[in-house]
């Protein structure tokens, strides 16, 4: 095994991708975070990494000011999580370095959810009104996002070979994990209308039509997550919504809708593809309907 940090980092990233099944984006992020530490610490060997060095790196991250001020605590923690995972990898391979348990994460507040109301969601869903190919595509995207709770990257990876005679299909998500998602009647109808009007031979379900909005070519490019994000933003503006709306906000709406209507947390976790139920629990505080009734029924009864 290589003893230099660069070689060890390469082996670690390959381990993440192949043995741990992490997605390409995750591996790229780990690479960036670990490389940033190496650049700051100016170390070339694992044994040179010290607890004091990591502490100074954390201070540097905390003081790294962007447009909005200091770096967010969650972003700081992503760097430390990546470094800790790298050190655990070294320890498993008997490479002498800092004990990963010496690295503690910064305390963060509860995660804030970007939510929209049911009325706002309905307005966005109705925003693509026409029957042109681009509008049919956009309507299908919006309905599919809300019906399935797909991540935008998962949506963009879908192909035209969806079996619309069924109400479900499998999707490969984070960590190459496969889960089943379900189609609402509205989503099935929107996707079917879009596919019926297409005249191209591209494998991708959602493709870019360029400025002209035409779709008769053979090799139209697959729509990118960034393009979908721009599209959702534009329809939110068209629907008169001033707050920021993204595909992930629609994913939040999918989860809160299920929980508000009585779905159990474990089922929602499976539908979202969350590895840890703690990630899903962030939704519960906004969907606990009975708390309002408890307050109304029991609060202030002793007052005249």
**CATH T-level assignment (fold) for domain 5-102:** DNA polymerase; domain 1 (1.10.150)
Higher pLDDT, 234 or 279: 234
Catalytic choice (36, 174, 179, 238): 174
What percent of the chain is predicted at pLDDT more than 70? 89
Q: What are the percentages of helix, strand and coil residues in the chain, rounded to 5?
A: 55, 5, 40
**Tokens standing for residue 226:** 């960034």
Active site residue 252: no
Place of tokens 């004091």: 52
Tell me what pLDDT residue 8 has. 94
What integer best gives the mean pLDDT of the chain? 87
Q: Are 37 and 79 in contact (CB under 8 A)?
A: yes
Higher pLDDT, 4 or 217: 4
**Tokens standing for residue 234:** 């534009």
- Asked if pLDDT for residue 212 goes beyond 50, the answer is no
Task: Report residue 191: phi and psi, to 5°.
Answer: -65, -40
Confidence of residue 289 (pLDDT cuts 50, 70, 90): low
Distance CA 229, CA 293 (A): 37
What H or E segment, with its residue span, contains residue 140?
helix 133-148
Q: What is the mean pLDDT of residues 97-103?
A: 92
Which residues, including other chains, have CB under 8 Å from residue 190's CB and lie 6 or more apart? 136, 139, 140, 142, 143, 144
Catalytic choice (102, 274, 292, 296): 274
The residues spanned by each domain of the chain are: 5-102, 118-290
Report the top-level CATH class of 118-290: mainly alpha
Q: What is the pLDDT of residues 101-141, one digit of tens each?
A: 999 887 766 555 678 888 999 999 999 988 999 999 999 99
Tell me what pLDDT residue 11 has. 94
Tell me what pLDDT residue 104 has. 86
Catalytic choice (151, 188, 198, 252): 151
Nearest residue to 89 (alpha-carbon basis) of 173, 17, 29: 17
The residues pairing with 159 across neighbouring beta strands, listed in sequence order, are 204
Instruction: Please report how the helices 133-148 and 225-238 are oriented relative to each other, as an axis angle in degrees rounded to 10.
Output: 100
Distance CA 85, CA 78 (A): 11
Tell me what pLDDT residue 214 has. 53
Q: Are 263 and 281 in contact (CB under 8 A)?
A: no
User: What is the distance in angstroms between the CA of the first residue and the CA of the last residue of the chain?
Assistant: 78
Catalytic choice (22, 79, 137, 251): 251
- Asked if pLDDT for residue 216 goes beyond 80, the answer is no
Nearest residue to 233 (alpha-carbon basis) of 136, 175, 152: 152
Active site residue 299: no
Distance CA 210, CA 103 (A): 48
pTM of structure: 0.69
Active site residue 283: yes
Active site residue 274: yes
Q: What is the pLDDT of residues 234-260, one digit of tens each?
A: 999 999 998 889 999 999 999 999 988
């Amino acid at each position: 095994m290589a003893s230099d940090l660069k070689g060890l980092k390469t082996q670690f990233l390959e381990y993440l991708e192949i043995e741990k099944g992490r997605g390409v984006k995750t591996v790229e992020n780990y690479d960036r975070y670990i490389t940033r530490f190496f650049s700051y610490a100016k170390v070339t060997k694992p044994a040179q990494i010290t607890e004091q060095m990591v502490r100074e790196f954390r201070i540097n991250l905390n003081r790294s000011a962007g447009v909005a001020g200091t770096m967010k605590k969650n972003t700081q923690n992503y760097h430390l999580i990546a470094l800790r995972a790298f050190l655990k990898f070294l320890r498993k391979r008997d490479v002498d370095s800092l004990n990963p348990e010496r690295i503690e994460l910064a305390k963060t507040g509860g995660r804030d959810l970007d939510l929209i109301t049911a009325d706002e969601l309905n307005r966005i869903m109705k925003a693509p009104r026409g029957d042109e190919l681009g509008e049919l595509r956009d309507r299908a995207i919006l309905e599919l996002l809300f019906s399935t709770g797909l991540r935008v990257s998962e949506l963009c990876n879908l192909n035209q070979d969806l079996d619309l005679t069924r109400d479900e299909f499998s999707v490969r998500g984070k960590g190459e994990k496969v889960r089943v998602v379900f189609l609402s009647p509205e989503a099935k109808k929107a996707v079917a209308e879009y596919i019926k009007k297409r005249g191209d031979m591209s494998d991708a379900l959602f493709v870019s039509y360029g400025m002209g909005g035409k779709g008769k070519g053979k090799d139209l490019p697959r729509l990118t997550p960034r393009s979908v994000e721009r599209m959702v933003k534009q329809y939110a503006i068209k629907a008169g919504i001033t707050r920021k709306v993204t595909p992930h906000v629609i994913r939040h709406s999918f989860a809160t809708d299920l929980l508000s209507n009585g779905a159990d947390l474990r089922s929602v976790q499976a539908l979202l593809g969350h590895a840890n139920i703690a990630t899903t629990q962030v939704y519960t505080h906004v969907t606990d309907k009975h708390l309002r009734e408890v307050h109304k029924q029991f609060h202030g009864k002793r007052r005249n």
